[in-house]
Amino acid sequence: MAKKKVIFECQNCGFITPRWMGKCTNCGGWDSFIELSQEQQEVIKLSSVSTPQQSNAKSILQISHTEVERFTCNDIELDMVLGGGVVPGSLTLIGGSPGVGKSTLLLKIGANIAQLGKNVLYVTGEESEGQVKLRANRLKANEEKLFLLSEIRLEKVLLELEVRPYEFLIIDSIQTLYSENISSAPGSVTQVRQITFELMRLAKERRIAIFLIGHITKEGSIAGPRVLEHMVDTVLYFEGDSSQELRILRGFKNRFGPTSEIGVFEMRSEGLISAKNISSRFFNRNKTQSGSALTVVMEGSRPIILEVQALVSDSHMPNPKRQATGFDNNRLNMLLALLERKLEIPLNSYDVFINISGGIKITETSADLAILAAIISSFRDRSISKETVFIGEVSLVGDIREVYGVDSRLKEASLQQITKALVAKKPSEKQKIKCYEIDEVSKLLEWF
């Protein structure tokens, strides 16, 4: 009698091993391996085996280029993040922390698309029909072509898609959906992987645009196997604090457009709406205080003025604290070391805290100069005029390097009545704002 083959699978990343391990060597998760049944092993085996067929490959020279077809979702911000609109047959995954507004946004988007005359199916596995109806009333999302299905069985969802020619499908959420053909719990790695494969096949064959809502782990990544993000066409993350009004939708993967654009939404009583004017949302010009400096960052093609806040205080601990919110903590440590070496500022006995106002996260280096200015301002207790912005990347040798898109940044600053700018190099185009060149960190002290 043949010995039964035993396989263990990590429920965090889907890594498979022939023996149980306390810690996953792939994702580092502890106590995450479970033994797969014989039926589950057969599902994995069948999904990886393909039937040999006659070659259908074509030379790339024989393939004609076609423009990507899109349709609008009647939301400027989401259309921008998606690259111009929704692509029929695409599979989009949206992740975010609980309560950030994922379900609220997609229900409103579903209503917008239903207004265009397209059949939309909203599948909810976490809420009852009555709960979704209450939200729809609040969002004013009651449309005749918006259909609601409270179901967690994949087979029932597929049957519903046979009844009516749907063009837009929303799954809330992918972790609650399960297939009766797979003997594992909803949300398990095997369930999520196979259901996503089935939905991907459905989207491509019937040209249905499908949006999936995904849960996230405590580390901030989307729960389930990593292959989930590889299979979908677009991955979007909702960022923002539930205590603040602004929400940011950021693209991390997009096969039909750029990933540099962001969408900014505002949470109101009637739901999430596009933030029409965000120019002055991330900085305050009412009062000048020490430890505050302005900079301009580029989010895709959009320049945004941000306020960098710094607090430098005496430390009573052997290891002073260095903490940053909205900024890379490792880069902060590098900038602090640079200040101690080049400007001889004794920060080794001070706690340093950095905060980017508005809840936005800086992912580029153009704010380095503003970070240094805010730290020096707080250390010396001298305020910086809110008429000045700091734009530049700081190198390890103390040079100020030029960043891209300086012209666009300065135009945005001048629109907000800012009159001065410290940059590494004056722009080629004539600007209304007065620019001062600064090529070394030591010259920054002249402004204090």
Per-residue pLDDT at 415: 87
Both tokens of residue 28?
């580092």
Separation CA 95–CA 213 (nearest Å): 6
Write down all domains in the chain, each with its CATH number in brackets. Answer: 8-44 (no CATH), 70-274 (3.40.50.300), 292-447 (3.30.230.10)
pLDDT at residue 203 above 90? Answer: yes
- Determine if the pTM surpasses 0.85: no
Separation CA 120–CA 110 (nearest Å): 6
pLDDT at residue 47 above 60? Answer: no
Cis peptide before 357 (omega within 30 of 0): no
Per-residue pLDDT at 220: 61
Confidence category of residue 1, pLDDT binned at 50, 70, 90 = very low
Contact 353, 320 (CB under 8 A): no
Per-residue pLDDT at 168: 97
Pairing of strands 292-299, 302-314: antiparallel
pLDDT average, residue stretch 189-201: 89
Report which of residues 68 and 146 the model is more confident about: 146
- The pLDDT > 70 percentage for the chain reads 91
Provide the edge-to-edge strand list for the sheet that holds 262-268.
146-150, 120-124, 168-172, 209-214, 91-96, 234-239, 246-254, 262-268, 271-274
